[in-house]
Structure 1
Amino acid sequence: MSDKPSRTVSDRLQAIDWTDDAIAFRHVHSRALLMREYLRRAALWAQAYGAEEAWPFFDIAEYVDADTTTPPEVAEELEQLLKDLAPASLRTTCRAAVRWSALREVHRDLPANLPDPYEPLLLMHERGGGYYLEEYLDLNGVMIPLRDMESNASSAPFVTLAPTTLDALDAEGEATYFAKISDGYPRHSPRGIVRRRVEDDGRTHDEAFTRNLRWEPTEYLRLYDLGHNEIDHVRITEIEAAVFIESLTEKLTGAS
């Protein structure tokens, strides 16, 4: 068994600045979505392999194939990193993500309907470090409820994990998203999307995601409120907005 997959994941963890809270604050929206997606995926794997009591922060490889191990040299280097990190559940899942990469190399028969459990969590760490687990999950800038395993397993999937998409969801303040709809442009395939973003100081910004692949100021919502727009809109979720952003990016850049 090659140590390359495990080394790749370990190197990603080693490259993270676990002490820079400013990065986490810049990525509060995407980090929350990524954590929720990890919780969903971990719940699906827990249900599939009888690991419900171990959910949410656990070593899934232990339940799939307990004989799979992390290459010793990689494991030793990883422990040097983890000795200063908290909480314990973070150390558990970092070890688990590295071990999982080793398991995937030797197991080509993993259930195709179950997505990679640790990739959302790795991306979340790369966008601002760790978390704290108390009554809520504290992601250094945003807190989200843990909820129970069943509700996480049935939550809407967030599968648009491209960095450009994640970056487009991060902005100061709270954002409400809308899809512009009309005949031939339903909610799942709208003419475009806009958002109203309210900063902490109360300032409001209306923005449209344009063919320039960035958010730009728009008068659409203000004009609509004044009765000057014929194109209708409907409120959508961040996940739906992410799907549109990634689809438009792929269409205009040819990336997939």
Structure 2
Amino acid sequence: MSASRMLERLRAVDWDMRWDLAFERCGSRQVLMWEYLRRAAVWAKACGAEGAWPFYDVTAYLDPGFELPPAQAAGLEELQRTVVWGELRKTCAGAVRLAGLGERTPEVVAGLPDLYEPLVLFYERGGSFSRDCSGVFIDLVGVMCRPGKLAGYLGSRPVDVLDDTVLDALEGEGRITYRQDEHGAGPLFRSRVQGEDLRVDEVLGPDLRWEPVDLPAGAAGLAAVDHLEAARRIGRMA
């Protein structure tokens, strides 16, 4: 993706946070943040930026002398004035500058995952994130995320498919638990708990739409899977 196109996407983000969208898209935003943290760990390890992880401008480590063309640099500076948090500004700069560096020197980004794409998708699906008062947790709006340590992400299986169809399938009202056959075969199920008494059981169809289903009491014969494994399974069906 070109630096100009990346700049356009970031300019279109509602940085004031659409609380309705953020809550509605809590499931996908949680997965997108995790996948960004994983990719950021891979890049940090590859270019000696471990101390800057997780939110950083990687181009400073790849090519310290790199500069955007004047028009793009001015556009990025204007964008950064509209963004409140320093970590957001760093990642916006990183996304635009890495796109520009990749245009000029494609071999620099070869062999590594698209670093900022999950985070840009996160921004597009509900705006920014913030830190809690302790600075330890990331507030994604609707869910808190503790990044943990960089080493914990290295070697983790990626969530490769991040198109809108897959991300939309991760959304739903209520507290969601995903389930599959104990042996990992068969379809993917989920239960959505709304309020104290209402539980809605669903199965994911081949068109990646959730359909009502009657699960046995206690979901006998099914094992719970986390949201990351659910995202991987949905991606394989896409």
- TM-score w.r.t. the length of structure 2 is 0.90
Q: Given the superposition, is the C-alpha separation of residues 201 and 69 from structure 1 closer, same or farther in structure 2, using an over 3 Å criterion?
A: farther
The equivalent of 1:221 in structure 2 is 216
Q: Given the superposition, is the C-alpha separation of residues 247 and 155 from structure 1 closer, same or farther in structure 2, using an over 3 Å criterion?
A: closer
Residue 160 of structure 1, CA deviation: 2.1
Q: Given the superposition, is the C-alpha separation of residues 248 and 156 from structure 1 closer, same or farther in structure 2, using an over 3 Å criterion?
A: closer
Q: Given the superposition, is the C-alpha separation of residues 79 and 224 from structure 1 closer, same or farther in structure 2, using an over 3 Å criterion?
A: closer
The equivalent of 1:7 in structure 2 is 4
**Corresponding letter in the other structure for 1:127:** R
Q: Deviations over 1:17-72 (max 9, x none)?
A: 22222111111111111111111111111111111111111111111122322222
Aligned length: 234
Residue 109 of structure 1, CA deviation: 2.1
**Corresponding letter in the other structure for 2:229:** E
Residue 111 of structure 1, CA deviation: 6.0
Q: Given the superposition, is the C-alpha separation of residues 221 and 243 from structure 1 closer, same or farther in structure 2, using an over 3 Å criterion?
A: farther
Q: Percent identity?
A: 38
Q: 1: distance between equivalents of 2:218 and 2:49?
A: 53
Give the alignment of 1:52-131 within 5 angstroms: 52-110=50-108, 112-131=110-129
**Corresponding letter in the other structure for 1:152:** Y
Q: 1: distance between equivalents of 2:26 and 2:105?
A: 35
Q: Which runs of 5+ in 2 are unaligned?
A: none
Q: 1: distance between equivalents of 2:214 and 2:96?
A: 48
- TM-score w.r.t. the length of structure 1 is 0.84
**Corresponding letter in the other structure for 2:117:** E
Residue 89 of structure 1, CA deviation: 0.9
Q: 2: distance between equivalents of 1:141 and 1:241?
A: 19
Q: 2: distance between equivalents of 1:85 and 1:42?
A: 21
Q: 1: distance between equivalents of 2:208 and 2:44?
A: 38
Q: What CA RMSD, in Å, does the superposition of the two structures yield over aligned residues? A: 2.0
Residue 154 of structure 1, CA deviation: 4.1
The equivalent of 1:242 in structure 2 is 231
CA contact (8 A) 2:41 2:53 kept: yes
